[in-house]
Amino acid sequence: MAYLEIQRGVNRSLCGGFLVKTNFVLTAAHCNGDKITVKLGAHNISEQERSQQKIPVHHRIPHPQYDKKTLNNDIMLLQLSRNAVLNNWVRLIPLPNTKSRVRPGSMCSVAGWGRTCRNSRTHTLHEVDLEVMKDNMCHLYPGYYPSAMLCVGKPGLGKLPYRGDSGGPLVCEGVAQGIASYVDEHLWEPSVFTKLSTFIPWIQKILQKQN
């Protein structure tokens, strides 16, 4: 898991992300800003843990077709200014292949440092298991696009990603299948994740180009 400190003008915000190559972090395009710093290997981000690696982002690459209104193509690669050191605390998360499908009913996990409820901030990493839902469960979300999005989380359980959890991975059987995208609105509706398998050709193209 990567913790992203984002500077936009005078405003600061946070997002999650995940390491897919020693010098690349994957996150949501709406987590973009003027300056981003990545913390890897963190558990409590308010402490100077010896496991932490703090690396500035050298280059931000949001998807060229990212749509701010619908959050379609909500995916961004961050090239780090130096390679992360892989160890017990910092590892790569495997990506799916393009044919990978996550069936409704699959149990996956999502983690982040986002709020645990509307008024409650947290400094420690939280993880929760979530069920992948049928696409029609996200019909209330007007921009929902099944071929590029995943509908995740049983409504009413209150166990959903929330503010600050954007950009974090949806991990199913050890593979990142989604990126937390639309998480802000209501804790009683499913969340929308960017479907990673759709974007593998784009990701691979950039990773090869930046070698």
Q: Which residues of the chain register pLDDT less than 50?
A: none
Look up 58 and say whether it is catalytic.
Answer: no
**Which pLDDT score, from 0 to 100, does residue 129 have?**
86
Number of domains in the chain: 2
Q: CA torsion sign, 23 to 116 to 49 to 90?
A: negative
What's the CATH code of the domain at 71? 2.40.10.10
Residue 97 placed within a domain: no
In angstroms and rounded to an integer, the radius of gyration of the C-alpha atoms of the chain is 16
Q: What pLDDT shows up at residue 186?
A: 57
Residues 182 and 204 in one domain: no
Q: Do 11 and 39 fall into the same domain?
A: yes
What is the per-residue pLDDT for 119?
Answer: 52
Give yes or no: residues 122 and 204 share one domain.
no
User: What range does the domain containing 68 cover?
Assistant: 2-91+199-209
pLDDT of residue 49: 87
Catalytic residue among 34, 43, 51, 74, which?
A: 74
pLDDT at residue 52, rounded to an integer? 94
For 59, residues 6+ apart whose C-beta sits below 8 A from its C-beta are: 78, 79, 210
Catalytic site residue from 63, 165, 166, 181: 166
Q: Which of 30, 165, 191, 197 is catalytic?
A: 30
With the C-alpha atoms ordered 190, 112, 127, 178, is the resulting torsion angle positive or negative? Answer: positive
Active site residue 74: yes
- Using an 8 Å Cβ cutoff, are 170 and 16 in contact? no
pLDDT at 163: 55
Does 186 share its domain with 205?
Answer: no
Active site annotation includes 129? no
pLDDT score recorded for residue 66: 96
Using an 8 Å Cβ cutoff, are 165 and 110 in contact? yes
Same domain, 113 and 173: yes
